[in-house]
A and B are shown apart, each in its own frame.
Chain A
């Protein structure tokens, strides 16, 4: 999706704010009085993409509905680092029940609100990729299928990070995790189908599905805002690099997310009622290698010897996304 193009500005629509923009053209995060749904003092690792993504998304959700948001969180890093007794980093009503039931719990909250006639209060369910594509998959699908009035946000860091970086259904091929070690004849994760949850969500024909990343705040905010304009089940899949699990420098979190989108490995698009309605064109195309190189989980692709076969395979995946979502050569930014 493209945000409103803002002409004549050196930083156009990519930076967080810019004093030259009118207030309404600035991102929500640029507001010194932003709500900080997730505030300081949380225990996420240095440079945690999930902490960033969660604040981005929930602040946007709050803005969209006059702060009337209740969040339901699955077990995982986000839950653990935000609410270890005796301190909580949340500034919104927030509920954690279990690892695999966040979508259903969110449905329950939404049902309660509906029963009480408080339809002004909106419910956001959220969890990591494990909670979403694996253990909570059934509950999520049920929530989708019933079209419950819940916005579910998956913070995808491509593994079970909270338990120490084990493979999930969203772990990409070749990536090293604690349960897909870089040993043997096919080191790292298998080349399988993976679980492409955005597409699975689309198959439910729910009103709104989108992907986003922490590298494009404007896009993320616009999508959350748009999602909040619908009633019914909505799904946003946000790529959130994890320095710990990916073996990347803490300062590179956003950069890596950007390379994921600019290589085509992580396509950014949105869909309504099962149909892709737009995709965010790649601005500065890079080879997947640029992305892989910065992460130790792919180190085995480069040393001791370079594994061209696997790198090419990953490049093919990226190229396929580029074709499928038409990520290049769109008549852009018009």
Chain B
């Protein structure tokens, strides 16, 4: 067509006009630290595996997850999910049920028989791990993935540490525990069970290049309580251990548990399952001060466990014991009131916490123990070169997940130490707050409540209490993730640019700013739901 000069123009001829020159700031795509990832003691990249799971790619999601943590099915049951406590979604409606999705992925992997990839190359280094609890197993797993020759030694006859001998099966069914541990075994890790290590130095001399100590805290703390001779006083760890080994402890009709931690809850609930008519927990402070996880307290109460808050055991007799009422002072410490009460009790189980058994250190002066825990540096190495430690025996939260995190961290540092380099954690530290998100774009989607076994049925046997999610629920839950600080391809930036200055690179490839046309208005940044774009100075 013949175009009259000037009054008629060719279409899209404005592409010659590079309006990008107007810009003083430019948008930049970034990856930021979501609060969940930041809070995960195992250092999981939660947002990432949720993102992968969101489109149903469960196997890929599982693989991404086990980059950091080999136990999703276990985590999905016993982890106290601090990630969820800080989930930004809780400001919108409720936290994402990260833990339930993790369990779903873990269970799914077991069901499908997914395997851990073999290491690319064998390093030729030999590492000894003492203790087959979560810390030791995690270290073994990560070291093996890095190509090292790993031997795990443990005093008990089955691996798992407190996951097996502490946590009761109604919370962690053993087939799940076994499945996830077996998968690790299959990586070619040597397990030497029923092998107590009495001297770490002797073990070192066997030709290992490094040692990871993860012996946990096996010794129950004792308290002095006046008691008559016929009184039955037991310790919780031993009770749980016996139950696991199939040795029915003699508890009697009425059981009192002394302590306010998870162990106390577990042992009380176990007592009920073993046939006790009544299980009473005695704790010297209040519920909100109790170290036990609140959900565990709730579950215990649901199962008919009674709790005497603000009480201490004063004297133990054969069929009764005396407790004293306490009150909290201004500082929140319990103080005796002089008021007493008598409870019927056939036995008292002490659940007052555990201590580390350092006897295997022998008399080595170069291993530094302070306040009952072993000192380690930022690389998890003890004061003895080549000996690393983690889990309950070092100062930190005593949880399975922390142990797993220690194991991973130690493994990566052991690997570096063996290769005479240093391990750099390249994680982004730019934490995403809720205010930085554009919450408008997240539709209201409340959290899926995990089904639980009816309380009346529960206390009768050791069946698992908390049920898993089915696939559609898990998918829904995964998709509730707001993807804090990491693009989830919502296309907003691509859509909202008035200058059409964003290029969509295609699925999984993200976006690119076309700086020829970007005027730097910042709308893409404002409208990014997940705060994955920032404005930075330009020119």
Contact status B517-A41, CB under 8 Å: yes
Bound Cα distance from A32 to B526, whole angstroms: 21
Contact status B494-A254, CB under 8 Å: no
Contact status A14-B14, CB under 8 Å: no
Contact status B500-A18, CB under 8 Å: no
Q: Of the candidates A17, A19, A49, which one forms a contact with B495 in the assembled complex, judged by CB atoms under 8 Å apart?
A: A17
Contact status A8-B500, CB under 8 Å: no
Interface residues on A, range: 35 or more
Which chain A residue lies CB-closest to B522? A251
Contact status A42-B19, CB under 8 Å: yes
Q: In the complex, which residues 38-88 of chain A have their Cβ closer than 8 Å to any Cβ of chain B? A: 38-44, 46-49, 51-52, 55, 82-83, 85-88
Chain A positions within 8 Å of B504 at CB level = 30, 32
Which chain B residue lies CB-closest to A85? B6
Q: Of the candidates B14, B475, B479, which one forms a contact with A87 in the assembled complex, judged by CB atoms under 8 Å apart?
A: B14
| Known contacts A18-B491, A19-B55, A254-B526: A41-B441 contact under CB 8 Å | no
Contact status B12-A29, CB under 8 Å: no
Contact status B11-A90, CB under 8 Å: yes
Which chain B residue lies CB-closest to A41? B14
Which chain A residue lies CB-closest to B493? A16
Contact status B12-A251, CB under 8 Å: no
Which chain B residue lies CB-closest to A214? B496
| Known contacts A10-B442, A15-B490, A250-B522: A92-B481 contact under CB 8 Å | no
Q: In the complex, which residues 144-195 of chain A have their Cβ closer than 8 Å to any Cβ of chain B? A: none
What is the distance, in angstroms, from A218's C-beta to the closest C-beta of chain B? Answer: 10
Bound Cα distance from A255 to B438, whole angstroms: 10
Q: Of the candidates A11, A39, A52, which one forms a contact with B14 in the assembled complex, judged by CB atoms under 8 Å apart?
A: A39
Q: Does A20 contact B (CB under 8 A)?
A: yes
Q: In the complex, which residues 501-518 of chain B have their Cβ closer than 8 Å to any Cβ of chain A? A: 501, 504, 506-507, 514, 516-517
Chain A positions within 8 Å of B18 at CB level = 41
Chain B positions within 8 Å of A48 at CB level = 498
Which chain A residue lies CB-closest to B11? A91
What is the distance, in angstroms, from A330's C-beta to the closest C-beta of chain B? Answer: 15
Chain B positions within 8 Å of A30 at CB level = 491, 494-495, 504
Bound Cα distance from A49 to B445, whole angstroms: 30
Q: Does A27 contact B (CB under 8 A)?
A: yes
What is the distance, in angstroms, from B142's C-beta to the closest C-beta of chain A? Answer: 31
Contact status A46-B13, CB under 8 Å: no
Contact status B494-A16, CB under 8 Å: yes
| Known contacts A19-B507, A40-B517: A10-B479 contact under CB 8 Å | yes
Q: Does A12 contact B (CB under 8 A)?
A: yes
Contact status B15-A253, CB under 8 Å: no
Q: Does A213 contact B (CB under 8 A)?
A: no
Chain A, residues 257-268, CB within 8 Å of chain B (1/0): the string is 010000000000
What is the distance, in angstroms, from A24's C-beta to the closest C-beta of chain B? Answer: 15
Bound Cα distance from A251 to B451, whole angstroms: 44
Q: Of the candidates A17, A47, A55, A90, which one forms a contact with B500 in the assembled complex, judged by CB atoms under 8 Å apart?
A: A55
Chain A positions within 8 Å of B363 at CB level = none
Q: Does A287 contact B (CB under 8 A)?
A: no
Q: Which of B15, B475, B514, B516 has the most CB of A within 10 A?
A: B15
| Known contacts A32-B506, A92-B11, A217-B495: A47-B479 contact under CB 8 Å | no
Q: Does B425 contact A (CB under 8 A)?
A: no
Q: Does B525 contact A (CB under 8 A)?
A: yes
Chain B positions within 8 Å of A272 at CB level = none
Q: Which of A27, A43, A47, A51 has the most CB of B within 10 A?
A: A47
What is the distance, in angstroms, from B26's C-beta to the closest C-beta of chain A? Answer: 12
Bound Cα distance from A30 to B496, whole angstroms: 10
Contact status B498-A251, CB under 8 Å: no
What is the distance, in angstroms, from A284's C-beta to the closest C-beta of chain B? Answer: 7
Contact status B491-A15, CB under 8 Å: yes
Q: In the complex, which residues 21-55 of chain B have their Cβ closer than 8 Å to any Cβ of chain A? A: 22, 54-55
Contact status B525-A88, CB under 8 Å: no
Contact status A86-B494, CB under 8 Å: no
Chain B positions within 8 Å of A86 at CB level = 6, 9, 13
Contact status A88-B12, CB under 8 Å: yes
Q: Does A26 contact B (CB under 8 A)?
A: yes
Q: Of the candidates B54, B442, B519, which one forms a contact with A20 in the assembled complex, judged by CB atoms under 8 Å apart?
A: B54
| Known contacts A9-B443, A27-B491: A40-B516 contact under CB 8 Å | yes
| Known contacts A41-B517, A88-B9, A250-B523: A20-B17 contact under CB 8 Å | no
Contact status A39-B15, CB under 8 Å: yes
Contact status B14-A10, CB under 8 Å: no
Chain B positions within 8 Å of A40 at CB level = 14-15, 19, 499-501, 514, 516-517
Q: Does A89 contact B (CB under 8 A)?
A: yes
Bound Cα distance from A126 to B9, whole angstroms: 19
Contact status B496-A42, CB under 8 Å: no
What is the distance, in angstroms, from B178's C-beta to the closest C-beta of chain A? Answer: 34
Chain B, residues 469-505, CB within 8 Å of chain A (1/0): the string is 0001001100111110000111110111111110010
Which chain B residue lies CB-closest to A12? B443
Chain A positions within 8 Å of B488 at CB level = 10, 18-19
Contact status B441-A15, CB under 8 Å: yes
Q: Does A252 contact B (CB under 8 A)?
A: yes
Q: Does B429 contact A (CB under 8 A)?
A: no
Contact status A89-B12, CB under 8 Å: yes
Q: Of the candidates B440, B489, B499, B522, which one forms a contact with A42 in the assembled complex, judged by CB atoms under 8 Å apart?
A: B499
Bound Cα distance from A89 to B498, whole angstroms: 12
Q: Does B160 contact A (CB under 8 A)?
A: no
What is the distance, in angstroms, from A150's C-beta to the closest C-beta of chain B? Answer: 21
Contact status B499-A252, CB under 8 Å: no
Which chain A residue lies CB-closest to B526? A251
Report the 5 A-B pairs with minimum CB-CB distance, sorted nearest first. Answer: A17-B491, A16-B495, A251-B522, A41-B14, A12-B443
Q: List the interface of chain A (C-beta within 8 A of B).
A: 8-20, 26-27, 29-30, 32, 36, 38-44, 46-49, 51-52, 55, 82-83, 85-92, 217, 243, 249-255, 258, 283-284
7 pairs across A/B with beta carbons < 8 Å?
A16-B494, A18-B489, A32-B504, A40-B517, A52-B497, A87-B17, A90-B12
Q: List the interface of chain B (C-beta within 8 A of A).
A: 6-7, 9-19, 22, 54-55, 440-443, 445, 472, 475-476, 479-483, 488-492, 494-501, 504, 506-507, 514, 516-517, 519-523, 525-527, 529, 535
* Given A15-B490, A17-B495, 8 other A-B residues pairs in contact with their CB atoms under 8 A: A11-B490, A16-B492, A16-B494, A19-B488, A27-B495, A46-B521, A83-B9, A250-B521
